[in-house]
Structure 1
Amino acid sequence: MRIITGIYKGRRFDIPRTFKARPTTDFAKENIFNVIQGYLDLDGALALDLFAGTGSISLELISRGCRQVVSVEADRDHANFIRQCLQKLDTDACNLVRGDSFRFLKSCRQQFDFIFADPPYALKELPEIPDLVLGKGILAEGGIFVFEHGKQYDFSDHPRFMEHRSYGSVNFTLFR
């Protein structure tokens, strides 16, 4: 796993082979961040990374200058891996929450400029996530929500839909 740009550009982290989660590919990550840059300046932004997995997106957000990133991951081993990565970077710009993303959404009262969610593609509640996130009022005015999902899902009819991007088998839907 590699940080693509920013203050930690080029830093690599070896993901244990035992992990179920895989980071968003470098190709897909680089391209979606190029798209995001056209809509939002991440420098000084508050960001939320739901279903953080390996922490790849959280680390990228920190590197790109987010003031604070809240990273939510339920799996104990994955959360420990993210914590180790943050220690190696010697940063306190990330608040790691080891817990269920759905429970976090129910209790969250903070607003974020940028929200990223990459749930397991097989998650049965996956189609409900955009409404859960956008219905909570946690996306700040002018903020962007990026949702990573499998190709079988189409959110283009959603009232807050912005655009859809596909990079190989990785699909992103952007909401405002």
Structure 2
Amino acid sequence: MRIISGLYKSRKIVAPKNLPVRPTTDMAKESLFNILNNRFYFDAISVLDLFAGTGNISYEFASRGTQQITSVDQDYGCIKFINQIAEKFNMPINTIKSDVFKFLEKSTLQTHIVFADPPYAFPEEQFAKIPELVFQNNLLLEDGLLIIEHSKHTDLSHLSQFSYSKSYGGNMFSFFEAN
């Protein structure tokens, strides 16, 4: 994986092969950040990265100047890797090793962007639980955005707070906003 833009532009990061992850493709990531760039000043927002995996999305936000990034993943290897990269590049990423759903049930952390990249094989009710918990627990700041990455074979448009979706190859991003 590589960082697309910002302070660490073009840096390649090689994750250990034994991590249980599917990193967002560079093409999809670049498209996502083009959308976000038209809506947010990266140095003025906070981000919650759920199912953070390799930290790919967190690194991109950090490279673009975001100073408040929280990455949550239940895999110890993923958290350890994110911490190593964050330390190496002096990135402001706070990691939390936790089951994402347990974290969302208890969290009071409010951010501008909540990004979730759960396993594509999740059953639909697991996908539906993410926006339900984010909005029920008021985790988005005013004008905030929840983004869920999923397979093009998964349709989340019927879920509450759904705004729109964008497809990039086999990847899809569904955007949710407070009404």
TM-score (norm. length: structure 2): 0.92
Asked if structure 2 preserves the Cα contact closer than 8 Å seen for 1:79 and 1:98, the reply is yes
**1:152 positional shift:** 2.6
Give structure 2 stretches of 5+ with no counterpart.
none
**1:65 positional shift:** 1.3
Partner of 1:24: 24
User: Residue by residue, what CA displacement relative to the aligned partner does 1:94-113 show, whole Å, maximum 9, x if unpaired?
Assistant: 11111111111111112101
* SS of residue matched to 2:173: strand
**Which letter does structure 1 place at the counterpart of 2:9?**
K
Partner of 2:159: 158
Partner of 2:100: 101
User: Residue by residue, what CA displacement relative to the aligned partner does 1:36-70 show, whole Å, maximum 9, x if unpaired?
Assistant: 12222222211100000010001111111112100
Tell me which stretches of 4 or more aligned residues in structure 1 moved more than 4 Å: none
* Larger CA deviation: 44-53 vs 13-22: 13-22
**1:126 positional shift:** 2.2
**1:19 positional shift:** 2.1
* Larger CA deviation: 60-69 vs 153-162: 153-162
Count of matched residue pairs: 175
Please give the root-mean-square deviation of Cα atoms over the aligned residues, in Å.
1.3
* SS of residue matched to 2:43: coil
Partner of 2:127: 126
Asked if structure 2 preserves the Cα contact closer than 8 Å seen for 1:40 and 1:144, the reply is no
C-alpha separation between the residues in 1 aligned to 2:65 and 2:167? 25
Asked if structure 2 preserves the Cα contact closer than 8 Å seen for 1:49 and 1:116, the reply is yes
C-alpha separation between the residues in 1 aligned to 2:64 and 2:134? 23
User: Residue by residue, what CA displacement relative to the aligned partner does 1:127-165 show, whole Å, maximum 9, x if unpaired?
Assistant: 322222222100011111111012232222334222101
C-alpha separation between the residues in 1 aligned to 2:167 and 2:174? 9
* SS of residue matched to 1:43: helix
Give structure 1 stretches of 5+ with no counterpart.
none
C-alpha separation between the residues in 2 aligned to 1:110 and 1:141? 13
* Larger CA deviation: 93-102 vs 123-132: 123-132
Partner of 1:10: 10
Q: Percent identity?
A: 42
